[in-house]
Structure 1
């Protein structure tokens, strides 16, 4: 069995916070500045050997140089300010550590970090791209939008739910399956190619072609037959591939992508009506949209929109 360890640190002591960060992250030149006021730090880490999820909040300033080593490391800020290298980390968008030694500075922040075994990511990329397993280059500091961002958040919700709420012991097979799901979500969100090449080329694997077709035509009324033809697969083969990789049928996966896009539009608070958002994401039947949205997120879309407008 694979053991998922869980470690939580809550402290108002700068030195204790620094020690916790030093244990969690492979960081050189690590500094933690409490800012002279009331200092609070909290970090929860749930990890297996292949996959870990870290949630950190800090009222001070943390800086240093991260060494990614054997993992691909991607982070996203919920609040605060941060830079990775010379690039500002956007709120609510994943940003990848691209170099093995990358400087960072995070100020009064809430942030989550996902670490994925690099070998698993490279193997998944090779299967999707139709090349031999090879070190990867990623588009520097790419910020996904639209359907690819929705695919990222769908993966995070799937992975986080199991890591945070699932059992502490899982089979090696399930640990590998979840790591592959995480890798697939990352590779969908961030353009990549074998190191040494100049830029990304279209993925050759049939499943990757199916995913790309769906993300390019997310708001259109697609059928599973159309997706299969675009990917060069049989309907049965397409269904099996999606079940293995996304634990959903192609149309279930597509609907969840649309719902993620809808949630993003609603939480921005700029939408005129829920019906407008439903049409924008390709779910024009308002009653069905509202029911599916409630099943996915636990609240009605009108409530999400009201909350967003109120917070603004």
Structure 2
């Protein structure tokens, strides 16, 4: 097999208001090449990459200094000490086994790397990673929380579930489609908007607070209150006016705030979260029926639900339900 490595340049903003989005691709059966790729991707020490005759390492890294997506699979074992101080790093294991900072990662759930150095071990795995500029995340948190920008603490070892998890996947789907679709010179302003959207999804999914406070507090800003109201009332019939009233905002102001933070409207955001929550429940193998799942997440029109679900995921909800039931049995 021929190793294919595209070397990415350093991402910096240009005078013409653009930033370079690069893609680095590595596919190799050589553990030394895999080690070099990982050292380019992470700040990592004591790195050890081992494998048997079937060793295969594949990695695609796409993004800028503000926001990066990485997808990696490996049939071997990777160990080392990762320094996550420079960026906010979120990982979700898709298959295999992994331990990060002493925490065994669940499959299919985003987990945040703690800041600083931590030991990692990955065994015969597939995973995705998102990196977001740390200062940008701190600024977005301050805007949402009503405090001055400062370093953040996140709830240790938190694994999102329910509506916050669905909100995370809604963000990932939106951001990944644009990042993976275009490389080269892109608008710096648009890249910042994407990174802020990613930060908002992260902050929705994982409890956090500024360093110096003891725990998470209720959102102090109208946007944060609107987001909390939506996620707390996923199963209820709520309107745009309900959300605006809960946030103390006009409908127009709420629409504008959501567009800036999430790149969409509040009701489109609500529908997207509901669809993803429905998919989570249908894939779990524990659902009793498609209609029960739809009602549980606040969807009352099953015909429209089926069409929207097929548009979003490429199959009808009944197909997901039957597939999960067969797998569970």
Q: TM-score range by the shorter chain?
A: over 0.9
**Paired residue for 2:226, among 204, 210, 234?**
210
SS in 1 for 2:299: coil
SS in 2 for 1:230: helix
Distance 1:311 1:24 in 2: 35
Distance 2:43 2:243 in 1: 42
For residues 7-46 of structure 1, the aligned pairs below 5 Å read: 7-34=24-51, 36-46=52-62
Distance 1:267 1:211 in 2: 25
How far 1:311 moved relative to its partner? 3.5
Give 2:311's aligned residue.
Answer: 295
Give 2:157's aligned residue.
Answer: 141
Deviations 1:186-208 (A, max 9, x none): 00001001112211111211101
Determine if the alignment matches structure 1 residue 104 to structure 2 residue 120. Answer: yes
Distance 1:77 1:100 in 2: 21
Determine if the alignment matches structure 1 residue 5 to structure 2 residue 5. Answer: no
Q: Which stretches of structure 1, 4 residues or more, deviate above 6 A after TM superposition?
A: none
SS in 2 for 1:4: strand
Distance 2:72 2:139 in 1: 29
Distance 1:308 1:11 in 2: 34
SS in 1 for 2:34: helix
Report how many aligned residue pairs link the two structures: 311
For residues 64-83 of structure 1, the aligned pairs below 5 Å read: 64-83=80-99
**Paired residue for 2:257, among 224, 230, 241?**
241
SS in 2 for 1:45: strand
| TM-score, normalised by the number of residues in structure 2 | 0.92
Distance 1:3 1:309 in 2: 45
For residues 83-102 of structure 1, the aligned pairs below 5 Å read: 83-102=99-118
Distance 1:42 1:218 in 2: 38
How far 1:247 moved relative to its partner? 1.9
Distance 2:204 2:137 in 1: 11
Structure 1, unpaired ranges of 5+:
none
Provide the aligned C-alpha RMSD in A.
1.1
Deviations 1:61-89 (A, max 9, x none): 11111111321111010011111111111
How far 1:167 moved relative to its partner? 4.5
**Paired residue for 1:194, among 202, 210, 215?**
210
Identify if the C-alpha distance between structure 1 residues 123 and 299 changes in structure 2 by more than 3 Å, giving closer, same or farther.
same
**Paired residue for 1:264, among 280, 297, 313?**
280
